[in-house]
């Protein structure tokens, strides 16, 4: 054999040896893992393959210990995870990947506290202490005024049970849910013509439900205003009852004193008014901070108000044409003052519809209000300085003797009482006991 032939044969032997080694290694690997792989099963599904059960249990224990430390209370894996040795060509996960898969797919539980609202679980805390802290902070938000008492409109039940740590709420998140509810709301932008009733109807809501979605909303909607028309209302309705004391002003009154020395229609202020002050205590009812009722329960006067006093002139001066009298009723004159039927007609007759309103021709005091013989139902008003006006044949009288009336004040209605041939007002002006033609002064 030549030297080159020997080298070629040696080379072939080396290649054969390498091939045998590779095949042996592959067979060894297949042999090692075929039938010796640990399948991790959760809820009936394989989530990972590990070298053996010991590796899985060790990883689970490490994860539980980490979560226990983070939560500062015992955390364990949820029951239901199954480990099974299976024949598989799958390559087992390394430690890092196995840890990631188990942390993501395996549920860990702890003894927590669940808050049920009207029978539905809504919040989950890690323990009672955290739950109490949450409720204390929620109540603190709505605690105000004096003698504040808080309660919840909903039925709240708190129980301790095993919970998934992924469902645990922080106090901050729970406070947000308490005020805003769960789920993303749908927003409506108010346009011209929108009303709360229309928005409620169009979104299959009641006005009360719309009010809960938008605490503080009023019927006075503004263009461009954002209104929640879907989504969750606050989880809780916190009812509060408290007392508040507010300083308020007491308005002064104005007292008018008649002065016969001053001309009619003139006034003179003789004392300026000053507002008073008082402390008023109210009992307030509120829902989630929005006031729904307010009742006064106590009042303390700090400073009495001072009335304004005004003198009001009542001196009536009668003069011709526009001398202070107005027409007592609208209508046409059917009989004038003066000679009539062989006698003297002491006033004027103003025809008007039955029941038409009669007004005082000038200010003064009523001296007669009742039956006046042939005058029928009659009112006489004294205007001072010996001047009187008489209103006769009325169907009804609206004033009484001694009453003060203003110019233009309603005193009764047109009628046909007494000696009358039809509905009209007989109107007289009397000066110092003598009648005068009313037309001179109207």
Question: Quick one: three-class SS letters along 313-345?
Answer: EEECCCCCCCCCCCCCCCCEEEECCEEECCEEE
The pLDDT value recorded for residue 410 is: 98
pLDDT in tens, 231-287: 667 888 999 999 999 999 999 999 999 888 887 778 999 999 999 999 999 999 998
pLDDT in tens, 416-425: 999 998 999 9
240: Cβ contacts below 8 Å, ≥ 6 apart: 142, 143, 144, 148, 149, 150, 284, 285, 286, 287, 289
Q: Is the pLDDT of residue 63 over 80?
A: yes
Q: Is the pLDDT of residue 392 over 90?
A: yes
Q: Domain residue spans in the chain?
A: 34-106, 112-180, 186-231, 241-313, 332-440
The pLDDT value recorded for residue 24 is: 47
Q: How far is CA 112 from CA 66, 167, 273, in A?
A: 18, 10, 68
Residue 269 carries which DSSP code?
A: E
Helix residue ranges, H only, 111-267: 128-142, 171-180, 196-202, 207-213
123: Cβ contacts below 8 Å, ≥ 6 apart: 114, 115, 134, 169, 174, 177, 235
pLDDT band for position 31 (50/70/90)?
Answer: very low
Distance CA 234, CA 178 (A): 5
Distance CA 124, CA 165 (A): 9
In the three-class reduction of DSSP (H, G, I as helix; E, B as strand; rest coil), residue 275 is classed as: coil
Least confident of 26-30, 82-86, 149-153, 218-222: 26-30
The pLDDT value recorded for residue 5 is: 55
32: Cβ contacts below 8 Å, ≥ 6 apart: none
The pLDDT value recorded for residue 17 is: 53
The pLDDT value recorded for residue 32 is: 46
Q: Token digits for 151?
A: 């309660």
Cβ pair 405, 381 in contact under 8 A:
yes
The pLDDT value recorded for residue 14 is: 58
Return the CATH number of the domain spanning residue range 241-313: 2.20.230.10
What percent of the chain is predicted at pLDDT more than 90? 67
Distance CA 61, CA 75 (A): 10
- pLDDT averaged over the chain? 89
The pLDDT value recorded for residue 16 is: 57
Q: Token digits for 237?
A: 């309705």
Q: Is the pLDDT of residue 146 over 70?
A: yes
Cβ pair 168, 130 in contact under 8 A:
no
Q: Which helix (H) or strand (E) holds 10?
A: helix 3-33
Q: What is the CATH T-level fold of the domain 332-440, as seen in this structure?
A: Glucose Permease (Domain IIA) (2.70.70)
Q: Is the pLDDT of residue 1 over 60?
A: no
In the three-class reduction of DSSP (H, G, I as helix; E, B as strand; rest coil), residue 144 is classed as: coil
The pLDDT value recorded for residue 2 is: 55
The pLDDT value recorded for residue 139 is: 94
The CA-to-CA distance between both ends of the chain, in Å, stands at: 162
The pLDDT value recorded for residue 10 is: 54
397: Cβ contacts below 8 Å, ≥ 6 apart: 369, 370, 377, 379, 411, 412
Least confident of 18-22, 152-156, 318-322: 18-22
Q: Is the pLDDT of residue 20 over 80?
A: no
Q: What is the CATH T-level fold of the domain 186-231, as seen in this structure?
A: Membrane-bound Lytic Murein Transglycosylase D; Chain A (3.10.350)
Least confident of 75-89, 98-112, 176-190, 427-441: 176-190
Q: Is the pLDDT of residue 12 over 80?
A: no
Q: Which of 10, 82, 6 is nearest to 50 (CA)?
A: 82
The pLDDT value recorded for residue 218 is: 87
Cβ pair 112, 126 in contact under 8 A:
yes
Cβ pair 91, 49 in contact under 8 A:
yes
């Amino acid at each position: 054999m030549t030297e080159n032939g020997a080298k070629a044969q040696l080379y072939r032997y080396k290649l054969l040896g390498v091939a045998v080694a590779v095949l042996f290694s592959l067979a060894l690997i297949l042999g090692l893992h075929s039938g010796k792989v640990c399948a991790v099963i959760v809820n009936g599904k394989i989530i990972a393959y590990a070298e053996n059960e010991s590796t899985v249990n060790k990883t689970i224990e490490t994860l539980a210990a980490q979560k226990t430390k983070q939560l500062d209370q015992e955390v364990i894996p949820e029951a239901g995870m199954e480990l099974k040795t299976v024949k598989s060509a799958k390559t087992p996960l390394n430690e890092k990947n196995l840890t990631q898969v188990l942390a993501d797919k395996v549920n860990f539980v702890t003894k927590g506290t669940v808050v049920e609202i009207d029978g539905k679980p809504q919040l989950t805390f890690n323990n009672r202490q955290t739950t109490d802290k949450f409720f204390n902070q929620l109540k603190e938000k709505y605690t105000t005024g004096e003698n504040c008492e808080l309660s919840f409109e909903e039925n709240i039940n708190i129980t301790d049970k095993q919970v998934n740590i992924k469902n645990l709420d922080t106090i901050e998140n729970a406070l947000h849910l308490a005020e805003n509810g769960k789920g993303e709301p749908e927003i409506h932008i108010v346009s011209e013509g929108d009303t709360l009733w229309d928005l409620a109807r169009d979104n299959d809501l009641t006005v009360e439900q719309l009010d809960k979605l938008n605490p503080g909303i009023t019927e006075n909607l503004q263009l461009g205003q954002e209104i929640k028309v879907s989504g969750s209302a606050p989880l809780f309705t916190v009812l509060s009852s408290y007392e508040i004391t507010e300083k308020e002003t007491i308005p002064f009154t104005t007292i008018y004193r008649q002065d016969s020395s001053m001309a009619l229609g003139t006034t003179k202020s003789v004392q300026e008014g000053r507002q008073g002050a008082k402390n008023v205590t109210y009992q307030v009812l509120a829902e989630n901070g929005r006031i729904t009722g307010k009742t006064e329960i106590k009042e303390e006067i700090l400073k009495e108000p001072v009335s304004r006093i005004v003198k009001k002139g009542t001196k009536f001066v009668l003069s011709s044409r526009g001398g202070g009298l107005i027409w007592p009723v609208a209508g046409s004159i059917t009989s004038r003052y003066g000679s009539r039927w062989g006698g003297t007609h002491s006033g004027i007759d103003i025809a008007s519809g039955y029941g038409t309103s009669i007004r005082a021709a000038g200010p003064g005091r009523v001296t007669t209000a009742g039956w006046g013989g042939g005058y029928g139902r009659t009112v006489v008003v004294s205007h001072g300085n010996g001047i009187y006006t008489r209103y006769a044949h009325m169907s009804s009288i609206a004033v009484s003797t001694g009453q003060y009336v203003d110019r233009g004040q309603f005193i009764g209605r047109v009628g046909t009482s007494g000696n009358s041939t039809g509905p009209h007002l007989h109107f007289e002006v009397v000066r110092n006991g003598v009648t005068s033609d009313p037309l001179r002064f109207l």
